[in-house]
Amino acid sequence: MPKTNIFFDLFPNLIAEWHPTKNGDLKPSNFSYGSNKKIWWICAKGHEWETSIKERSRESQCPF
């Protein structure tokens, strides 16, 4: 049975904002959308911030 709560599958638009270096070996495909794990993000304007995957899946945006 395929997983249906994989963050990568449900929120492909946020994958582009997954910080490419500050998250180390962590990958979007390893998390569900409800994860409380704090992750680094970077928006199209270059702003960097840390917040949980759960918050981002609730449509939170760049805080700057």
Q: Are 19 and 48 in contact (CB under 8 A)?
A: yes
Q: Is residue 29 in some structural domain?
A: no
**Model confidence over 4-48: pLDDT tens digits?**
567 777 888 888 999 999 999 999 888 888 899 999 999 999 999
Band the pLDDT of 3: cuts 50, 70, 90: low
7 within some domain: no
* pTM recorded for the entire structure: 0.84
pLDDT for the residue numbered 43: 96
Give a yes or no: residue 55 inside a domain.
yes
Task: Give the integer Cα–Cα distance in Å for 9 and 22.
Answer: 22
- In a domain? residue 1: no
Band of the pLDDT at 2, cuts 50, 70, 90?
Answer: low
Q: What is the pLDDT of residue 4?
A: 56
Structural domain includes residue 5? no
Q: Is 62 a domain residue?
A: yes
* Structural domain count, the chain: 1
The answer to whether residue 47 is domain-embedded is yes
